[in-house]
Amino acid sequence: MSDFMLPDIGEGIVECEVVEWRVNEGDEIAEDQPVVEVMTDKALVEITAPEAGRVTRLYVAKGDIAKVHAPLFAYEATGEVEFETPPRPAAREEDEVASPAAEAPPPALSTAPSAAHAGAASVAAKDFILPDIGEGIVECEVVEWRVSEGEEIAEDQPLVDVMTDKALVEITAPEAGTVTKLHVTKGDIAKVHAPLYAYVPAHAEPGEARPDVSQSSPTAPQEAQNRVSQNRVAPVASGGRGPYGRIPASPAVRRLVREHGLDLEAVAGSGKDGRVLKEDVLRFLEQGSQQQGSRQQGEDPAAGAASPAPQAETASSAQPSRRDAGEVRVEPIRGVRAVMARRMVESASTVPHFHYGEEIDVTELLALRERLKPVAEAQQVRLTLMPFFMKALALAVREEPILNARLNPEVSEIHYLPEVNVGMAVDSKAGLIVPNVKRVEQRSVLEVAQEIQRLTAAAREGRVAQEDLKGGTISISNIGAFGGTYAAPIINVPELAIVAIGKSQWLPRFDERGEVVKRAIMTVTWAGDHRVIDGGTIARFCNAWRGYLESPETMLLHLG
């Protein structure tokens, strides 16, 4: 028996209401047969059967709420061997019973007799269900498997690295045993509350035999393997419709089609009965991009050869073609980059930005840092200017606390936060992430420097903890580290302000006697949420911050 997990049915949708069941428990179902209608907060969605079989249990009653990536109904696939598996009302982190993801073949039950217990009852492999790995995270990308099928594993042994939309997460083994199957391959997407891999525990129950993973069952595992092999080979498109008069496609594929504004009928399906697969949509999009590029270059997409317009004949004959003969490389936006894309669009489109620029003389600050560097190095701490920026920021918040506040979702209240958690934008290998140093107002400059060093090292390895990414109240983007002088930063919502720090330059300035002197000048550009922060507020805040940086010894007066 297999559980059908409710798949993603729309961006940001985590639950839906069951409007109407089209089948009852015990009914026979065919592949792509409409099974249930669910209502999201956007539309009515029809869920179809992933394969032929018989419905054994409806987990969610009509009118109740179904959760995405939780079991919706249970069924026995046609030809499936029945095992006594108790029904499970909901997917939980501690679940370890078999519960394959939607639109994937049922996991193979690895059963084989042990040499020492010939004829004893065989043991079914357990599925490890991917648990919640972060607030709001429903899927992740498998970056690297550290084990292979058939390998022995120990409890708490690191098995796989997965990339969420926030950080790289290491998944460890819940107990000792033997890996029998990897359900998700490297580079593919794993769903929370869906099987990630299968394993056989090291200890067997009394009277049970431990399976030999070197052998395989000739029935279900082989069928699953054949099904996977068929998915890897793109057969010739049949262009037909399913037995219910609709183009066969999974909800996830339909969502992909909607997101790109495509017509499902325009995409040639390469699956059974013309079923449109994800690969078909991606191939269609890639071909469309190539054809559009060809038209822009004056080419005939059908012929694939240069066909310049008559007006450009002379120019074309005089200049050699520079068209690259290579194929377009398609790289999906996933993980941290996907989140950054969504958040930047949200911030730029919903928050009215107000920018404010200033120059800060950091000559004295540079001199102070040089004097303190040996002290910090003695404690294995690298002292940069960033700890001073953060500490001065926390002190300036005392004078203008609205820079460290939040707006409620209804934009009817301002929530003044009790702590100053300063985020810093880090260009990690996974993309731009913003970990934050907690309670800067309570830490010394040296303690802030230690936290920055820890977070920077973790970010560059892509292993920042979820807690380090949550709770930021105000952010700093140090573009000067890359040689930049000016920038107009975008606010890291739900924060209300962010500052971009440019590089420090030695420039001529007039002193109090009117003489030209050499000073270290740094440019900064603030961005504030103009719904609650006006020009005067951000100017006063920046002046207070600049005062601490230009006369860093004044920060000593405020150390608790």
CATH of the domain at 259: 4.10.320.10
Same domain, 516 and 552: yes
Alpha helix ranges (H) inside 379-532: 386-397, 445-460, 466-469
pTM of the predicted protein model = 0.51
Structural contact between residues 30 and 243, judged by C-beta atoms closer than 8 angstroms: yes
* DSSP state letter for 482: G
Structural contact between residues 212 and 200, judged by C-beta atoms closer than 8 angstroms: no
Same domain, 271 and 380: no
Q: Just list the catalytic residues.
A: 530, 534
Answer whether residue 327 is part of any domain: no
Structural contact between residues 225 and 135, judged by C-beta atoms closer than 8 angstroms: no
Same domain, 23 and 47: yes
Answer whether residue 58 is part of any domain: yes
Domain boundary among 231, 254, 281: 231
Number of H helices, E strands in the chain: 10, 28
Same domain, 219 and 359: no
Q: CA 311, CA 454: separation in Å to the nearest integer? A: 61
Q: What would the pLDDT profile of 189-207 be if each residue is shown by its tens digit?
A: 899 889 999 999 987 554 4
Q: What would the pLDDT profile of 308-320 be if each residue is shown by its tens digit?
A: 333 333 333 344 4
Q: What would the pLDDT profile of 492-503 be if each residue is shown by its tens digit?
A: 999 999 999 999
Domain count, the chain: 3
Same domain, 199 and 273: no
Answer whether residue 328 is part of any domain: no
Q: What would the pLDDT profile of 116-130 be if each residue is shown by its tens digit?
A: 333 333 567 889 999
Domain boundary among 170, 200, 231: 231
Q: What would the pLDDT profile of 146-170 be if each residue is shown by its tens digit?
A: 999 999 999 888 899 888 766 678 8
Q: Which domain holds residue 126?
A: 2-231
Answer whether residue 402 is part of any domain: yes
Answer whether residue 163 is part of any domain: yes
Pairing between β-strand 65-67 and β-strand 158-163 as defined by DSSP bridges: unpaired
Answer whether residue 410 is part of any domain: yes
Q: What angle do the packed helices 363-378 and 386-397 form, to 10 degrees?
A: 110
Q: Is 507 helix (H, G, I), strand (E, B) or coil?
A: strand
pLDDT class of 14 with cuts at 50, 70, 90: confident
Same domain, 293 and 206: no
Same domain, 382 and 303: no
| Strand (E) or helix (H) holding 279 | helix 278-296
Answer whether residue 359 is part of any domain: yes
Q: CA 25, CA 293: separation in Å to the nearest integer? A: 52
What is the pLDDT of the chain when averaged over all its residues? 78
Same domain, 289 and 197: no
CA nearest neighbour of 469 among 340, 381, 345, 380: 340
Other C-beta atoms within 10 Å of 135: how many?
8
* DSSP state letter for 398: T
Per-residue pLDDT at 18 exceeds 60: yes
Same domain, 59 and 16: yes
Domain boundary among 194, 215, 231: 231
| Strand (E) or helix (H) holding 370 | helix 363-378
Same domain, 249 and 343: no
| Mean pLDDT confidence for 42-69 | 87
CA 331, 131, 95, 32: dihedral to nearest 10 degrees? -30
CATH of the domain at 391: 3.30.559.10
What pLDDT, on a 0 to 100 scale, did the predictor assign at position 161?
86
Same domain, 285 and 192: no
Answer whether residue 210 is part of any domain: yes
Same domain, 152 and 205: yes
